[in-house]
Amino acid sequence: MRKGSERPLWHVQLGCFVVIAAAVYIHLTNGEFDMTVSEVLRTLLRIHPQPDHDMVLFEFRLPRIVIAALVGFGLGIAGAVIQGVTRNGLADPGILGINAGAGAAIVLFMFFFQGNVIRTGWTAIMMMPLFGLIGGLAAAALIYFFAWQNGRLDPQRLVLTGIAIGSGFGAFTMFLSLQMNAKDFEMATVWLTGSIWNANWVYIASMLPWFIVLVPVLMRRAPLLDVFQLEESSVKGLGVRVEREKSLFLLSSIGLVSACVSVSGSIGFVGLLAPHIAKRLVGLRHRRVMSVCGLIGMMMVIVSDLIAKTVFSPAELPVGIVISIVGVPYFVYLLFKAKA
């Protein structure tokens, strides 16, 4: 990458914050129940609060915005880590089947609770990311098993194996969904397309421990991803415990993805697009890339959710479909670019 293509980090971060702030402003003030800026501020600052304003902001809009931000942030960082570890620009939690594995495990969890997760209490909500982690790890183990060739992880086999594993978990998920009653099947189907319409503060609480623990681990070790871009023999020559570090990176990113999938369903392409955009903006150093990836992912999900909520009102699209409208053409472009 040319030196001139690197922009100052704070310029890019400021631009992302401006877009996010604008999207949050529109999100808070627009919808089926419009609110003025003064009404939003009075409600947030508890100046003569009104019950209907409290309900709209604190029960619907704010949880939805916070979950969109956390999901985008987590998927963006996880995508940068997975691409860095595999040295494959086409790698992504969704394309590699990790989303599908985590989603299958969570649907299995939902199947046993039969749609009563919220009424079952905090313990059940906190267990959902754990089930997602188990499913994500199962998918990752299968991908490693089939993509490992001649003592190394083959990038092309990785993508093809990930697609196959994802399809298998998707079929298993559909089979489970068909065993549910009509109401639970509808809920599972909407959730699997990537939707945060059912956001609430309990879901946010279930995600936070994973982010508090795993994000600092990944950010602190980000420079190692720069080293992983060298040949593996060179990396070992530098004294890096390659397999141990790769496992730590992958386990941490799978944990983040599982926490995101547990509350939003399978939202694809965020982990694919965010690293590519970040690298074009701030260069190839992963400490810079990962911080920007989180903000770009956050921006993508918040803006996409705003589009899903307002453009087709009163109907509402799942946010995963809105992101896929952009993500699928870009993925095809990357495939042709890689082939060339």
- Say if residue 198 is exposed, middle or buried (CB neighbours under 10 Å; 0-12, 13-18, 19+): middle
| pLDDT score at 116 | 56
Contacts of 157 by beta carbon, 8 Å cutoff, 6+ apart: 146, 147, 149
The tokens of 311 are what? Answer: 């453009």
**Phi, psi (5° rounding) for residue 148?**
-75, 125
Residue with tokens 């401006």: 18
Check whether domain 19-339 has CATH 1.10.3470.10, yes or no: yes
The tokens of 92 are what? Answer: 């992504």
**Domain coordinates of the chain in residue numbers?**
19-339
* pTM exceeds 0.85: yes
- Print pLDDT tens along the chain (340 aa): 444 456 788 899 999 999 999 999 999 998 888 888 999 999 989 888 898 999 999 998 999 999 999 999 999 999 999 999 888 887 888 877 888 898 898 888 888 776 555 445 566 666 777 788 788 888 888 888 887 777 666 667 777 888 899 999 989 998 888 888 777 777 777 777 888 877 888 889 888 999 999 999 999 999 999 988 877 777 777 777 877 888 889 889 988 998 898 888 888 889 999 999 999 899 889 999 998 999 999 999 999 999 888 887 777 788 888 898 888 888 787 777 766 5
Residue with tokens 């068909």: 178
| pLDDT score at 3 | 44
Tell me the angle at which helices 155-178 and 122-147 cross, rounded to the nearest 10 degrees.
140
| pLDDT score at 1 | 43
